[in-house]
Structure 1
Amino acid sequence: MTTLTWNQARALPKAEVHLHLEGCFDLADLLLLAREAGAPLPGPAATLFDTSTHTVERDPDGAAVKGMGVGTFLQFLDWEGSLVRTYDQLFVAGYRAAARESASGVRYADIIVNPTHWGAWEGRLELFLRAITDGFEAAAKDGLCETSLCVSLLRQQSGESALEVVKTMIDAEIPRVVALSIDGDETHAGDTNERFSPAFTLARDAGFRRTVHTGESSGPQSVWGAIDLLHAERIDHGVRSIEDPDLVKELVDRQIPLDICPRSNVEGLHIYPSLAEHPIEALREAGVMVSINTDDPAPMSVRLEDDYVDCANAFGWSIETVKELAANSVNASFAAAAIKQEILDELGSFEA
């Protein structure tokens, strides 16, 4: 076993495929946006990201979900999004997200955005998406990492509004908008796969990729639904797949990746009491294509290289295993084939 250092983890050629734009606002970003908007803060400035002051929730099985809780966190994201009201602010948000990724050694990122959190942009979805991806484009021209956008539905929205989102994506023809996603509170929304199946089918038929947040606060059955009804090519989280051996086999046989966010699972929703008890290693050993991601890095105070180091230490990973995880991140991404190959070639010659 070789100990992975922070510098090695940063230098490692890799992708990130489970990252929310809403989770990329640093504390200073939010305070300055609130000042510019003349909007009140939801709590003391110095402790906006302190989850200890928020309500503890529970999942349907009664398991504790400590910290901020999904419902409270989604309300916080709504407040964040309400502060962003101009094209320039969205452009900067996209540019800064790409810069954040590049600072962690990421070569390519699929970044998720959920328009329902950005209240000022209701009815202006195309301009909203163009402003963000214009920021991505400028970042790439300045030598930062390549980025694409996954447009996410919210579980609480209607099937009709979901179809309208996909139709706008189709009509707009924005090159860096590559996928349809869905996220939100699984615990309270229940099984929504059937409701959103028409939207995901339309997206598939139009050539968009599909990724689904599931199998975190909900169990394995929700992952089955995402695969069968939403045509999911990738599962965001999906950690509770480990509870169903048949599902694990399905994921392995079809090579459906799980985009896992270890610290988010442990320190965010407390799905697992410690990293050592997280199933990422058991899933990897079973042959599932797993990758490491940050989810919402700013409010969770996490960097991607930290997660690589922490997991390598917790599970005794060799450098070769770490490179395997990095390759998984690239292969699971929605990057163009040429970009994937370029990163994989760089990874192949990487020496720690």
Structure 2
Amino acid sequence: MTQTPSLAQAHHLRPFVLGLPKTELHLHIEGTLEPELIFALAERNGIQLPYPSVQALRDAYQFTDLQSFLDLYYAGAGVLITEQDFYDMTMAYLLRMRAEGVRHVEIMFDPQTHTVRGVDISTVFAGLARALREARDSWGLSAYLLLSFLRHLSEEDALVTLEQALPLREAYLDLWIGVGLDSGERGNPPEKFARVYERCRTLGFRLVAHAGEEGPAEYVRNALDVLQAERIDHGVRSEEDPALLQRLIHQRTPLTVCPLSNLKLQVVDELDQHNLARLLRLGLCVTINSDDPAYFGGYLVENYLATAQALNLTAPQLATLARNSISASFLPDARKLALLDELETYCQQYYAESQAMPQ
């Protein structure tokens, strides 16, 4: 077998990653609100922000943990009022993904963040869906929606939110395919939401859940056993439990890892300490994602690039991460196979051209 080049040593790192057919599976759409757009929406909606300038807001993005980020995140989301606001936010993200070679996205959104402010849940759905369908119809970027429950609130609140959303389901069958669980993990174990997940399971929704970011490995196990989550968002602390780790490997349970988020929120002190490469070598179905990119310093490609450089990932390893992102998606099998074929063709061509380059 011809040895493939290490991208950490090659001159084509960014072009290679840009060209990789890939998906993004762990993305909070409210976390894509760039400071410039926050200010623009605030002005449009007559909202006074507690920051004098875009730069002052950006300078506030110094987080010590998940909660310090969430406080600013929820404040930023307060500028979202109208359907057009949600459309503008979503389209800005989708245009970035088009430029980054992304073929499919699975977007989490937090209705409770908006309904508590008096924004109707139908407004949220309408704005998101208009942008997603426009991107799909105009340039073929497909997308699904994952309605995420806020775990720092009660399960009763989550059940109310689900019931508010269900009358809209038929209108968004092409987009809304699943539910998730996010927000502050500490003190909010997965089993707190057992009933709402059981309800969603009987309704046929796909199930994901944040676990093992700041919470212990036990939260990952309970997300699997109690919530019956099909995919674990983050999951990096699974490594603390060898039996759980073997289970994840054996069951090929996807972990949607967000390296720059983990760095920004001090899950790791330095990116070269991240366990992503180790988990990948062990055979886990690890994927790279951006989480809340406007706040954490990089969208999907930047997460690939920063991780590759910090952990000295090779071209085949980056291709495996892209392959995992396709396999771990909720796309129909036929679409997955088409994307996997596209990925293999792309990699073979890249490796052949790299070998032909003068050393």
For residue 210 of structure 1, give the secondary structure of its aligned residue in structure 2: strand
* Partner of residue 255, structure 1: 252
* Partner of residue 186, structure 1: 185
Matched, 1:315 2:311: yes
Matched, 1:207 2:204: yes
d(CA) in 2 for partners of 1:69 and 1:314?
21
The answer to whether the 8 A contact 2:111-2:161 is kept is no
For residue 232 of structure 2, give the secondary structure of its aligned residue in structure 1: strand
Matched, 1:93 2:92: no
* Partner of residue 26, structure 2: 18
Q: Alignment partner for residue 327 of structure 2, among 323, 328, 331?
A: 331
Which letter maps to 1:226? A
Matched, 1:265 2:245: no
The answer to whether the 8 A contact 1:85-1:120 is kept is no
Residues 72-83 of structure 1: matches in 2 within 5 Å? 72-83=68-79
The answer to whether the 8 A contact 2:82-2:123 is kept is no
Deviations 1:84-134 (A, max 9, x none): 111122122222222122121110000111112225764722342232112
Which letter maps to 1:193? P
User: Structure 1 stretch 115-124 or stretch 88-97: which is displaced more?
Assistant: 115-124
d(CA) in 2 for partners of 1:151 and 1:130?
14
The answer to whether the 8 A contact 1:49-1:300 is kept is no
d(CA) in 2 for partners of 1:39 and 1:123?
15
Which letter maps to 1:256? T
Q: Alignment partner for residue 216 of structure 1, among 203, 213, 216?
A: 213
d(CA) in 1 for partners of 2:242 and 2:116?
44
Following superposition, the deviation at residue 69 of structure 1 comes to 3.0
The answer to whether the 8 A contact 1:179-1:209 is kept is yes
The answer to whether the 8 A contact 1:9-1:305 is kept is yes
For residue 186 of structure 1, give the secondary structure of its aligned residue in structure 2: coil
* Partner of residue 240, structure 1: 237
Which letter maps to 2:271? L
* Partner of residue 36, structure 1: 44
d(CA) in 2 for partners of 1:303 and 1:164?
33
Which letter maps to 1:201? E
The answer to whether the 8 A contact 2:207-2:228 is kept is yes
Which letter maps to 1:34? A
Q: Which runs of 5+ in 2 are unaligned?
A: 351-359
* Partner of residue 5, structure 1: 13
* Partner of residue 58, structure 1: none
Which letter maps to 2:179? L
TM-score (norm 1): 0.90
Deviations 1:189-224 (A, max 9, x none): x14322211111111121111111110111101111
Which letter maps to 1:212? A
Following superposition, the deviation at residue 158 of structure 1 comes to 1.8
For residue 41 of structure 1, give the secondary structure of its aligned residue in structure 2: coil
Following superposition, the deviation at residue 37 of structure 1 comes to 2.0
Matched, 1:50 2:59: yes
d(CA) in 1 for partners of 2:125 and 2:181?
16
The answer to whether the 8 A contact 1:98-1:147 is kept is no
What's the Cα RMSD here?
1.8
Matched, 1:156 2:155: no
For residue 216 of structure 1, give the secondary structure of its aligned residue in structure 2: coil
The answer to whether the 8 A contact 1:24-1:97 is kept is yes
Deviations 1:308-334 (A, max 9, x none): 122223333222221111010111112
Matched, 1:109 2:105: yes
For residue 16 of structure 1, give the secondary structure of its aligned residue in structure 2: strand
* Partner of residue 60, structure 1: none
The answer to whether the 8 A contact 1:98-1:144 is kept is no
* Partner of residue 195, structure 2: 198
Q: Alignment partner for residue 125 of structure 1, among 121, 132, 147?
A: 121
Which letter maps to 1:247? L
TM-score (norm 2): 0.88
Q: How many correspondences in the alignment?
A: 336
For residue 139 of structure 2, give the secondary structure of its aligned residue in structure 1: coil
Based on CA coordinates, which of the two structures has the bigger radius of gyration?
2
Following superposition, the deviation at residue 144 of structure 1 comes to 5.1
Following superposition, the deviation at residue 161 of structure 1 comes to 2.1
For residue 58 of structure 2, give the secondary structure of its aligned residue in structure 1: coil
* Partner of residue 64, structure 1: none
Deviations 1:126-182 (A, max 9, x none): 342232112100121121521111111011222122123333444322220111101
The answer to whether the 8 A contact 1:180-1:209 is kept is yes
d(CA) in 2 for partners of 1:129 and 1:234?
23
The answer to whether the 8 A contact 2:91-2:132 is kept is yes
Following superposition, the deviation at residue 68 of structure 1 comes to 4.8
